[in-house]
């Protein structure tokens, strides 16, 4: 997957990355992380809004089939399906939705579909329960790749994105930040938005956005636009 290759290039060849997803409620953070995992593990949609920090340690196991997911608990391993794991997370998030302070959720998974990654899925940055100190704990480290995730319909206001501002705070030169424009399909009929999206993908957007690579999420597929191609494609 091209997005994974981009992350590995930014890491300078590191064999392990911390990937921190930053965005508001409904930005599509979980869908982006599902794409990196290679399995629809995290709940998405209106009822799947992340209410607690979810941290997933991924290990690659080439002996597994492409559909296999192994959940590791202590010294035990258990094969699980993506749907079962997703429903379990959904149930836990739903039960705790009314609480002010949510427990952090940690998972350790083995798959054949991704390099070693530690994925961090925060609640939406616009939620009251969101503790920016927690963001700092993960985002400030030099081994953290920051994903600034913004829906295409909000692309015209990208320069004022809270996720972008937070990324700039911890990675001023943009060397470990990737911008992700999600839900392109929902803006497909709005030519003005698509023009703005294309400018971002070609690093021709506002100055605050031009120091980092941008990718587009079209449905469930990540695509990196080429400066030579001049259009948005899918991987």
**Does a structural domain hold residue 231?**
no
**Does a structural domain hold residue 229?**
no
| C-alpha to C-alpha distances, 145 to 120, 132, 157, 179, 195, nearest whole angstrom | 10, 17, 23, 11, 27
Q: What is the pLDDT of residues 83-99, one digit of tens each?
A: 999 998 888 877 655 54
The enclosing domain of 63 has a CATH number of 3.40.50.300
**Does a structural domain hold residue 71?**
yes
Q: What is the pLDDT of residues 7-55, one digit of tens each?
A: 555 555 445 689 999 998 888 898 889 988 889 999 886 555 666 889 9
- Within the chain, where are the H helices? 2-10, 29-37, 82-95, 132-139, 162-170, 191-201
Domain range for 60: 2-224
Tokens of 7: 């992350």
**Does a structural domain hold residue 54?**
yes
Structural domains in the chain (count): 1
As a dihedral over the C-alpha atoms of residue 172, residue 214, residue 126, residue 146, rounded to 10 degrees, the angle is: -50
**Does a structural domain hold residue 234?**
no
The answer to pTM > 0.75 is yes
**Does a structural domain hold residue 122?**
yes
């Amino acid at each position: 997957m091209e997005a994974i290759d981009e992350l590995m290039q930014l890491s300078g060849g590191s064999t392990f990355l911390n990937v921190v997803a930053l965005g508001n409620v409904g930005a599509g953070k979980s869908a982006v992380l599902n794409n990196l995992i290679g399995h629809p593990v995290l709940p998405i949609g209106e009822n799947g809004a992340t209410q607690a920090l979810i941290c997933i340690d991924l290990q690659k196991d080439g002996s597994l089939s492409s559909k296999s997911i192994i959940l590791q608990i202590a010294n035990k391993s258990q094969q699980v399906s993506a749907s079962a794991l997703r429903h379990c997370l959904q149930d836990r998030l739903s039960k705790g939705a009314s609480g002010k302070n949510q427990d952090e959720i940690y998972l350790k998974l083995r798959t054949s579909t991704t390099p070693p990654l530690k994925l961090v899925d925060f609640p939406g940055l616009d939620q009251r329960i969101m503790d920016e100190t927690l963001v700092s704990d993960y985002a400030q480290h030099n081994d953290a790749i920051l994903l600034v995730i913004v829906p295409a319909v909000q692309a015209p206001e990208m320069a004022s994105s809270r996720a972008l501002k937070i990324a700039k705070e911890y990675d001023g030169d943009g060397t470990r930040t990737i911008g992700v424009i999600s839900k392109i399909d929902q803006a497909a009929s709005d030519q003005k938005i698509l023009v703005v999206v294309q400018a971002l993908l070609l690093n021709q957007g506002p100055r605050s956005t031009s120091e980092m690579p941008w990718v587009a999420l079209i449905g469930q597929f990540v695509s990196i636009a080429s400066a030579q191609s001049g259009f948005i494609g899918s991987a």
